[in-house]
Chain A
Amino acid sequence: MAEYKFHILVCGGTGCLSSNSHEIADGLKDAIKAAGMEEEVKVLQTGCFGFCEKGPIVKVLPDNTFYTQVKPEDVNEIVSEHIVKGRKVNRLLYVDPENEKHISDAKHMDFYKKQMRIALRNCGFIDPENIDEYIGRDGYQALAKCLTEMTPEQVIEEVKKSGLRGRGGAGFPTGLKWQFAHGYQADQKYVVCNADEGDPGAFMDRSILEGDPNSIIEAMAICGYAIGASQGRVYIRAEYPLAIQRLEIAIAQAREYGLLGDNILGTDFSFDIQLCFGAGAFVCGEETALIHSMEGQRGEPTIKPPFPAENGFWNKPTNVNNVETFANIPVIFLKGADWFSSIGTEKSKGTKVFALAGKINNVGLIEVPMGTTLREVIYDIGGGIKNGKKFKAVQTGGPSGGCLTEKDLDTPIDFDNLVAKGSMMGSGGMIVMDEDDCMPSVARFYMEFIEEESCGKCTPCRIGTKRLSELLKDITGGKGTMEHIAELKRVSQVIRDTALCGLGQTAPNPVLSTLAHFEDEYIAHVKDHTCPAGKCTALLKFKINPEACKGCTLCARKCPVGAISGEVRKPHTIDQAKCIKCGACMDNCKFGAITKN
């Protein structure tokens, strides 16, 4: 085996791949070959590093140099300078926004400092297409331990003791769920991994599957052993081709090693996994809908009970866990439930992965211990609000979640605290909004999403979400009245009380939570006919300040609908009835005489 002096890791996550990271990897290999160093340098593609804002990422080890926004044309310099001559390529290093210093080691970057990577432990570290690398990182040791040293009951006890709760959104204790499925007798049981990640902006499950697929396989096998299932299914959306490909490779390699299949590690335990592809319906993240979809039925939830633990896939006891939940399992057995439960808050143990998005400097994927505050996530890790704007709200929990404001920023993040503040953990989407975001418009965006993604089974969700979305359309379109706000509240309450599944019951959350924090903004829309954030075009008014207007006539000439009139060298005026709020006048005015509000 060659004694490599360097490993160069190139991010092979979906985000970086779409910025040509594949070419970068190939380019590096070529350059290294040209330098005659292929015996000394190994180039490999890994899963996501998380710092997607600065991708594509290239990391050189062992000196832990973190190159950002690398382009294919940068590869020769990296090789000739860094690899051959030991000189880091400064211009590709991350620049600390505080002091403008180059930071070479990712560990010193604010983005990574407060993170703690358990679920993402191997993402951006190993080659996900090589099972040996996973095994080299203690992979399958946890499974081996469970199979050879523990009874299924002990395995379940350990998971219960760890305090791990479901990362898919609801936060149900994982060990308890396993215990339920364990408790039902059947000739066949199933372990299902829910990889139907559907929240807008969330991609933690995809990243784990792309970066560390074997951890999911191992965890599913452990779960199979615990509940008495010999069959596993991964329900994964077909829109995740790379995750599917990596998972398929991992499953094939695990089978070759006998880590899936009959008599795993020479024991009596047999387990295998098949993939089921979903068409990307949001509601199929709900476990009963997911199971129906796997059976070839329409992806619709059914009422619980019966729970899948009793009557699930093909009417057999079935345990459904989310990808991130499974990713935590092997670590619990490697490091112990006590270690795991020492991390986090009283009722929420371990870490949580969040997909940071919106008006934040460091967009990306992060993992923090439970109990980290929103402020730390947004300001320390996320680098604060883009362009120095003012923070307004953060939406957590995806469409079913809610908004949190400045006063909630010091809340330690955990399942219960977020619910207490009127939002929820959800699968970990975190969208940051600044002063330019109009909250009724935000609510409208989410309602349109939910309305489209409703399965249409129950009346309140099928019709109610449509009605909410219409009300919001009216409000943001300048046609709202106070009665609209009252109706929003009334319909929301009925949907919350009467919808069939969890998704339906939480569907009005974007409305209820924006109303709770920003009712004044709604009132401004319907009473004053203004959009305080200046987002709602229909409510905008463009005005010409007569003091500043020189009467150059440019605006009148640029106006596509002839709404501006005035004599040369005299102040012009805008006919509000004709104005289509396109903003062409304002963009073209050389004297800053045109304002909008």
Chain B
Amino acid sequence: MAKIKSLEELKKIKEQAQQSVSLRVKGDNIENLVQVRVAMATCGIAAGARETMNEFIKVLNEEHMDNVVVTQTGCMGYCYAEPTIELTMPGKEPVVYGNVDKNKVHEIVEKAIKGGEMLDGIIPVTHNTVE
């Protein structure tokens, strides 16, 4: 550890350090954030849910979108449309998208999250969020 000799140096360290706790900060504040929950049951994983999740995290980081938190959940019951994700905009009802591949990830980020649009691929559901 080098000595911190100025306020600027302290700020730099803070920025790096903030990333290491940001996941927790998000969790602590989850209700005010956009939540992307990736269904991570066996069928989802087989269909590439893990890659989907990684892609979300990668894109969001690149875009510095600190207002989005990516978590995982169990089987949502739409095995025919895996990978599925549940998107919850703050204060709104969750929406489930099916067949979310890498391209779909980008579309969701750009249009649904940034633009607040409803996209194709919504599974019309009356499901309860899986805890």
Contact = CB atoms under 8 A, between A and B. Distances in A.
Would A and B touch once assembled, by the CB under 8 A criterion? yes
Interface residues of B, number: 44
Interface stretch (A172-180, A250-258, A269-277, A545-553): A250-258
Given A132-B20, A265-B6, A5 B57 contact: yes
Contacts of A258: 3-5
A156 interface: no
Contacts of B28: 61, 64, 125
A135 interface: yes
A136 B72 CA distance: 25
A231 to B, nearest CB: 20
A125 B74 contact: no
Nearest to A261: B3
Listed residue (A90, A256, A265) with the most chain B CB atoms within 10 angstroms of its CB = A265
B30 A105 contact: yes
Contacts of A237: none
Nearest to A81: B74
Contact of A3 (B4, B10, B57): B57
B21 A64 contact: no
Contacts of A5: 23, 53, 57, 70, 72
B41 interface: yes
A266 B21 CA distance: 27
B94 to A, nearest CB: 14
A257 B3 contact: yes
Contacts of B57: 3, 5
A259 B61 CA distance: 31
Contact of B27 (A61, A136, A256): A61
Given A61-B24, A133-B17, 4 more contacts: A7-B23, A62-B71, A139-B14, A256-B1
Interface of A: 1, 3-7, 9, 61-64, 84-88, 90, 102, 104-105, 107, 125-126, 132-133, 135-141, 144, 148, 253, 256-259, 265-266
Interface of B: 1-7, 10, 13-14, 16-24, 26-28, 30-31, 37-42, 45, 53, 57-58, 61, 69-75, 130-131
18 contacts: A3-B61, A5-B72, A7-B27, A62-B24, A62-B71, A63-B71, A85-B40, A85-B41, A86-B41, A88-B74, A104-B131, A107-B31, A132-B20, A135-B13, A136-B19, A256-B1, A257-B3, A266-B6
